[in-house]
Amino acid sequence: MTDFDSDISFSDDFDIAPVRLTVDLGALADNWRTMAKRSGNARTAAVVKADAYGLGLEDCGTALYEAGARDFFVAVMQEGVTLRTYAPDARIFVLSGIWPGQEGLFYEHGLVPVLASEEQLAFWMSVTAELGDHPCALHVDTGFNRLGLPLEEAIAFADDVSRPASFSPVLVISHLHSGDSPSSDLNQRQLEAFRRVAEAFEGIETSFAASAGIFLGSDYHFDLTRPGIALYGGEAVNGVPNPMKPVAAAEARIIQIRDAKKGETVSYGGTYQLARDSRLAIVSAGYADGYLRSLSGSGVPVRQTVKDGAFGFVAGHKVPVIGRITMDLTIFDVTDIPEDHVHAGDYVELFGRNVPLDDIARAGGTIGYELLTGLGLRYERRYIYPDD
């Protein structure tokens, strides 16, 4: 006996893929417009680093450019080179700055390095002295202790009369470390520090707020905001309803549905024992696909602090992950779904419209950023364009 149709047919790759990802570019564009509206008088950039948070730099970059974004932020030079094809007249800022040997590509593709250290500053001054003026940005640390010139050094540099005339930053930026926690006093402390920076660099545009900072209000917006995770449908602020539209939906195909008896164990280590006779759906996704092992229903340390593991959605029902997630396979309990409603070959939604991205992330002890950027190479992708 088999659930499979015996007729030979030829299907679209997406229809038969073991794991697949749908990216709604219309929702992405709408999310950018939402963040632009929330940014008030500030212009709104788009952060597309890490392959547009795992969803595809080319397609997402094009959709954001067509929505109106003219300022983009990437992490590394190679991302900027790729993006330039799809955003021909945009300003593209490279957050990791510049290193010797990269200067030719920065000039050729019109990329703007974000300088974050004295070493990068000195190198950039030597580059512009040799190759001519080229825009740059300056990153100032206001309390993150990650990238950026120390606050007092940056302010002193702004007042340094010996600063070369060829050094002409078009933007000064900093970054909030607790913007996702609106009640944190540290946000106000960083804001006061960045106001000092903005005053010191009077006449140069400033940027302070990423997604979470935009929600903190107009005091944090300055001249340019930099939404990232919110564009892709993720939660930017802790403990409040997420107003953004879901953009990505990941699904995995059911390979087999099997019956198992009460008292039997499931998956590696036998860490999950069935409390009833059950029907189990084995799907073709695992941690090699970015469906993290920590999402397992049992047998992983995070279950000691976060009670419930991940869940999926199929045939109109939420279904829990049981046992340990493995490299290529995950097991869902589909016992409560009528037997004729779910079959081998059906797809289980891992996250998407019915399974919020950040709910799944919390089950794995992480954040939506990590799930999106960790998507594996095996997903067959389908992009839904605004006019579709």
Which residues does the annotation mark as catalytic?
49, 268
The total number of residues written for the chain in this structure: 388
Q: Which of 221, 226, 172 is nearest to 197 (CA)?
A: 172
- In three-state form (DSSP H/G/I as H, E/B as E, the rest C), the secondary structure along 265-281 is EECHHHCEECCCCEEEE
Q: Which of 197, 192, 175, 219 is nearest to 42 (CA)?
A: 219
Q: Retrieve residue 214's tokens.
A: 């935009």
Segments in 247-367 forming alpha helices (H): 357-363
Q: Which of 261, 259, 258, 263 is nearest to 277 (CA)?
A: 261
Buried b (16+ CB within 10 A) or exposed e, 156-167: ebbeeeeeeeeb
Any bridge partners for residue 94, and if so which? 74, 113
What span, in angstroms and rounded, lies between the C-alpha atoms of 287 and 371? 10
> By the 8 A CB rule, do 127 and 167 touch?
no
